Amino acid sequence: MSETLTDPFARHINYLRLSVTDRCDFRCLYCMSENMTFLPRHDLLTLEELDYVCTNFINLGIEKLRITGGEPLVRKNIMQFLTSISKHLITGKLKELTLTTNGSQLERFASPLIDIGVKRLNISLDTLNPDKFKKITRWGNLNKVMNGIFEAKSVGLDIKINVVALKNTNDDELHDFVSWCGDLGFDLTFIEVMPMGELNGQNRLDQYWSMNDLRKELESKWTLKDIPLKTGGPARYVEIKETEGRVGFITPLSHNFCESCNRIRLTCTGQLFMCLGQDDDADLRKVIREWPGNTEILQTKIKKAIARKPKGHDFDYSRQKVEGQIKRFMSHTGG
């Protein structure tokens, strides 16, 4: 029987977000610098170490595993790891294996993913305009991403489109996203931009668009009905009457979602973060490499870390000041 992980606030922790790499083939304006210095390869957990640590988490009661990056599908031999960890889907210990991706590699990976038991994907897409896409991602190609999205749809993967809401950047495409996703049967989630990492002095105040304001704009055209849908993540959902589609809102700043947080994050270097918006972490790589194969020491370290999980984060853009800013890049922690 799997054990269970419970934090000091009686929240059952059953969801692990794992970053398998800090590297990405895009350089999105809100996520990383154009001239990024990536982590040395020897600092990253090997595929075998990733498999080992995830198996220990699953044995402690983690039921949902989301693979993130960077861009997870640029990690060399990533399917080797995913195929190995998918064995826990067969035993039933792991209820869901999912990915968050920018879509650039899906033309070649969509079929292998569904073959190992992945059923749905979160695809990050912040604009439907090719020129704007190039500006936001710096290195990305919208055509390639769209080809990947439609390949994923064709093989039967469920798709949710994640849009980071950026004022003065993609706010004019709000209704286009609702129509497009509604027509294709994709779920859609809007996310407030978070203060993660320093980007050439930018503090993101100019980019920040609260979900409260975004929702008001949606209501100017569409009929929204709140629904109690839970997908294991922090989004609150509405149904759009006109399209019968679902739209979610992730609001770490205007209305944080900490009270029901069931998530922890493990970086590609083995640092376990109990909260996205806090810097406290536990170094699991050290345990894995100093005591290889000792599951008792590793699981004890994990349990002690969960016992330090805070009640919530401190992100705040009020008073035209960024509070609770985190120095590490989002690509280091994983989305």
Q: In terms of Cα–Cα distance, which of 32, 180, 171, 159 is closest to 101? A: 159
pLDDT for 45: 97
**Core vs surface per residue 60-87: b (16+ CB within 10 A) or e:** bbbbbbbbbbbbbbbbeebbebbebbbe
The residues near 290 (Cβ < 8 Å, ≥ 6 apart) are none
Mean pLDDT, residues 14-41: 88
What's the pTM value of the predicted model, to 2 decimals?
A: 0.88
* Total residue length of the chain: 335
Confidence of residue 320 (pLDDT cuts 50, 70, 90): very low
Q: Pick the range with the lowest mean pLDDT from 137-141, 309-313, 321-325.
A: 321-325
Give the whole-angstrom CA distance, residue 44 versus residue 288. 12
Q: Catalogue all structural domains in the chain, each as residue range(s) with its CATH number.
A: 5-333 (3.20.20.70)
Q: How far is CA 93 from CA 2, 19, 61, 100, 262, in A?
A: 8, 21, 8, 21, 17
pLDDT digits (tens, 9 = 90+) for 267-298: 999 999 998 767 789 999 999 999 999 999 99
pLDDT of 204 over the 70 cut: no
